[in-house]
Amino acid sequence: MSEETSTIKILLRNFDITGLAGQEAAVKRVIAATQRKYPNVKIEYGSVLGYLNMKEVLKDYPQLTDYAIEASKRAGISAELRPIRGGTDGSRLTARGLPTPNLFTGGHNFHGKLEFNSRKGLEKSTETLVHLVQIWAERSK
């Protein structure tokens, strides 16, 4: 690289895999418009799929979510299902062939300078995991 070269990297994420195509098309439109405006500038484009949303795989394994909800109930916690786009350990493991829904850790204010986890949060997440293992054992007999 030199002062005559610029590189832009964009991470496209979406709750639905079909939305990625639209996002990529928008990026390509910007590239085309920029190329028209600056015809003497060389613009190269490349795309690499980082990982899929967990939903794309987990929809085929509903028992994983069912077991996690049951484990939460046994730990005295109400489970909350929230969509996420990915970028977590669960999405990376799922993309590698190990279907892994995200479970709570008891933490708060993630990715900020005020991120923390309480003792009670750690205890409840651990209790939930113990129940999850018990449920797998019960239902695998």
Q: Where are the domains of the chain?
A: 1-49, 54-139
Quote the CA–CA distance of 67 and 128 in Å, as a whole number.
Answer: 10
**Per-residue pLDDT at 1 exceeds 60:** no
Give the tens place of pLDDT for each residue, 24-59: 999 999 999 999 999 998 899 988 877 677 888 888
Quote the CA–CA distance of 65 and 94 in Å, as a whole number.
Answer: 13
User: DSSP of 44-87, one letter per residue?
Assistant: ----------HHHHHTT-HHHHHHHHHHHHHTT---------S-
Mean pLDDT of 75-89: 80
Report pLDDT for 20: 86
**Per-residue pLDDT at 68 exceeds 70:** yes
**Per-residue pLDDT at 2 exceeds 70:** no
Report pLDDT for 38: 93
Report pLDDT for 137: 96
Give the range among 28-37, 67-76, 82-91 with minimum mean pLDDT: 82-91
Quote the CA–CA distance of 112 and 59 in Å, as a whole number.
Answer: 31
* Residue from 74, 64, 84 nearest 16 by CA: 84
DSSP 42: -
Report pLDDT for 115: 92
Quote the CA–CA distance of 9 and 79 in Å, as a whole number.
Answer: 36
- Name the residue type at position 36: R
Exposure b/e, 106-131, CB count within 10 A at least 16 = b: beeeeeeeeeeeeeeeeebbebbeeb
DSSP 108: E
Q: What is the separation of C-alpha 140 from the centre of its chain, rounded to a whole number of angstroms?
A: 28
pTM exceeds 0.75 for this model: no
Report pLDDT for 117: 92
